[in-house]
Amino acid sequence: MDHTAPFGLPLARRFAGDVVRLRLGLPVAPLVFADFVTFRCNLSCSYCGYARRGYARRYPELGTADALRVLEAGRRAAPSLAVSGGEPLVRDDIVVLLRHARSLGFRPITLFTNGLELPRREGVLDCVDFLQVSLDTLDEVVQDRLAGRPGTCRTVQDVVRRYAQDQAARGFRLHVNSVLGPDTLAGAPALVEFAARHGVRLTVCPELDDHGQPVPGLLVPETRTRYRAALDALIDDKQRRDVLLDTPHVLERLRALQPSACHPDLVARVYPDGTVPLPCPPRAAAWPNLLEGESWRALRAGAEGCDRPCPRPCLVPGPLTASMLVSHPFALLRERPRPGVRPCPTPASC
């Protein structure tokens, strides 16, 4: 399947429309449908709030037929798709879901995964434009401890090496996602070099609490100094070569741990049971179900209490990146894409 031009006209039109709507003070429309297809996971990462809050029990996943209906409703809401979890590849029907998503015309389709199940689910690679694999550090002791599973670091590195070689032949791009926390800051330079060596791109995010705020450990003066130094090095690397996926503007915000004005409706999220947290998970005022409403747009219009200004803007990557790109669209023009790769106008993480 040829995915060499993953950004279709519908996304370009939606993005341009949102740029105009934002400047006219009108409500924005979703750029991306973020489908959390499951909250089950084969890891227990120490910084993951989904496991800590028991989301797999609170939001049990739908069966295949209803999950396909969710995708159909999502396509009416947004032109692009981000499939996330939990770990999406623990679903036996994940290839079926992604094939249906492709047939619906979502473009681009991004799959977020820890990669451990990818050798058993290689069929997903024929359905996605971007594959984003989680790897926080190359330090095996630290990564395995964070993931709660021995051997994770080595296995994920092997997965990245193996499937990085398939990008051109199978028409997808592979990204590595790193959470920058007190224990992983020292490993950031090695991770950049790992990404560069294998022809993939790297995106980063600070370790956040359940409300999208930096964890207290990052705010300790000594750690905050190390964090800023790590971001300074990433910003410098971004100026020299095109390994970092994040725009310079986003990296500067992350360095300062300073949120931007947020427009959560740019990302339409749905949880595994069809629940829609409106306007966004950190400050949800309404929890309708997508399968019980006419559409995402109708659910959003009928939700009360969702239009109040956010009292505490957060650093959750999806809405942060989308909001900054729509607020500063010319930042995309300053990107230096590698041959055959266009700058991504959708959130790197949702």
Residue 347 lies in a domain: no
- Indicate the pLDDT class of residue 285, thresholds 50, 70 and 90: confident
pTM: 0.93
Number of domains in the chain: 1
Q: Is residue 339 included in any domain, yes or no?
A: no
Closest CA to 115 of 162, 185, 150, 55: 162
- Domain with 252, as residue range(s), is 9-334
pLDDT at 335: 63
pLDDT at 331 over 90: no
Residue at 2 is within a domain: no
Reported as a single tens digit per residue, the pLDDT across 211-270 is 899 999 999 999 999 999 999 999 999 999 999 999 998 999 999 998 878 899 999 999
Q: Is residue 145 part of a domain?
A: yes
Residue 292 lies in a domain: yes
Res. 332 pLDDT band, cuts 50 70 90: low
185 in any annotated domain: yes
Identify the CATH number of the domain in which residue 245 sits. 3.20.20.70
**Residue 60 placed within a domain:** yes
What secondary structure, in 3-state letters, does the chain show? CCCCCCCCHHHHHHHHHHHHHHHCCCCCCCCEEEEECCCCCCCCCCCCHHHHCCHHHHCCCCCHHHHHHHHHHHHHHCCEEEEECCCHHHCCCHHHHHHHHHHHCCCCEEEEECCCCHHHCHHHHHCCCEEEEECCCCCHHHHHHHHCCCCHHHHHHHHHHHHHCCHHHHCCEEEEEEEECCCCHHHHHHHHHHHHHCCCEEEEEECECCCCCECHHHHCHHHHHHHHHHHHHHHHHHHHCCCECCCHHHHHHHHHCCCCCCCHHHEEEECCCCECCECCHHHCCECCEHHHCCCHHHHHHHCCCCCCCCCCCCCCHHHHHHHHHHHCHHHHHHCCCCCCCCCCCCCCCC
On whether residue 162 sits in a domain, the answer given is yes
pLDDT tier, 311 (very low <50, low <70, confident <90, very high otherwise):
confident
